[in-house]
Structure 1
């Protein structure tokens, strides 16, 4: 495998390079250097640290989303690893690097790449069926079209799936990589379509020249435009050419965010469960009703990409389970999902109380602290030291809180011990 290690830490780079002599390992110490390497070379895996001398390493996740990224981190909670996973990262390796875990991660990726997959990575389900039908009719006429929506909604995946299923070859040009020269060269290779991904990142001067070439017939019409955001909104911001909008007006398809098509969520989850069992060769897995309800309530701001990442994270950490219950969820996933539900309910209650109580802040803080400490004491049978550790307080602080909130606290301790 070709592996790129992007990290300013020389010890981490040395350990990885020295331990993986059977692979081709390339090292990079900066964001700009890594960007150049990823643009001009192909890698099977990228081991990526976030803190680089010239910027946030996680920007590469957006720029090179087709690569297999694994995050290098000292502290997953602080380094925003869950954010990276929601963007499609495979997972993380904690520093100092455990070589056995590193080799296991590489082996898993190799196994995945070697398998002949009898399924597609794209779930054509629910509301996407009608979208796909419209796009297929455009493709059959070899006409251009524009597909737009939020990041992670599945725009690029849908286009790839449909072109591949129609046995049509294509070249994808991403954002600033796009140019008239690059498009001409792609069509000279006799491809059926050129896909312009992240088209909203291109300057309007390029867009203007492109629409001119299309209108006078200098370029084939077989171009797919993929954009993040609403075309009319981008026109108002001066980021989308008005004539190009008119040219594509009748051939536009929008992919709504997942929160606006919640009926698709159970179908997508079922698809990801099937993907997992086929890839791993394991027995079928189902989510319990309580887990499914929790997944349905979450807003999924990262859309389909985040949903897939969370489902796979659950499956990875609950191997062997035929039915996944609420108690089986990894702590970070449960915190993500349950935390949203808690905040949602709290917002509603606070809105109801605003203006009715001038001491609202103090009352809410006391109420939350009271419930938190009471539940912690219940969990550990009234042991104050263990309860303090459970909620992250010093034992002197929890003693003070018990006296403050429970008037001495003897009754609450007796209650939790019985």
Structure 2
């Protein structure tokens, strides 16, 4: 099979003669070739688009395995061929575990090398097609961009696919910021009611009186300020879907009226004796444990069972870490366009921090972190310096270590202590309480030591 003219290969080898031979050979096969003489340069060059990287294992400045890991952290899709003169199983296993596409031994079998070079782009193309199919499957559920290829997201979308075509009431559970509203939209657009309205109500944002009027409507003069009759959200959603977000926040009196609406499929405006028939599917969401709320007497048991016909649980971001790069890049390009900036990606260190952070605020927190980084980024790549302190502190323990003189001189204890304190304050941005925690002392003790300086 002939190589495609546009296929570009990066050859990385600190042996100049071997590098020159490979460059001439691979060019002769019809590829475009660039070269690097160590792993550090390869990591930098790999930020440009390459179809394949051919890299030696043993190099003086940065080994091929180290460079492989850094490049894969930035660009997991690029195929990397590792070559080495040392044909041992341990190196092969380490390379494959780190994400190498294949492993070749020196002296290279040039026929095998050519065959591997030809197959690698095909492998990546097939992989891209599979990912595209999966992403198309996911995006078909929702025009609002449900992003994710993790096992947790696949299970979630399988569940959405099952419940969407039905008329069953759905309860969506999950932590705050996980994207429950997007799942509600996905259920609606894949249901028989997709041509009808989707009406969303945030139950936590309204007082009891306003929520009742918002849901069921009111007659003119029903309360102060009611200067005209108003249709409620249930009637607005007729023949469609109503999504009640934060359902765990509604008051007992609204719970009673909601239960009646579900049972009888009718609503009654505030200030009216007339009941109106309504044809609507109900989807609700909460970040609370409604079973606990029922046991505590804050939520009606009969309403809970009416709402919980089908349950869809959205996983928190910390349980779907493999989706973090996809989400981060989506937000990066979105906010770069909005802020008229050029953004190519994240440095390996920055992406590593995003992957290690637990994201208590879930996707909403990630979105905010990326937006902040885009606003602050001085170059084309987001570095760890643009990330919020709560994320960048993941590398703080190393920075807390006081410096040790190269000549082996032992510093006085108070000087070592002073260095540690200032390092902690630097890492925490001057937050004395956080600095004290990192140093393992109380805030009062820290203040006392600062006063003695």
Structure 1 length normalisation: TM-score? 0.49
Structure 2 length normalisation: TM-score? 0.46
- Please identify which structure carries the higher helix content: 1
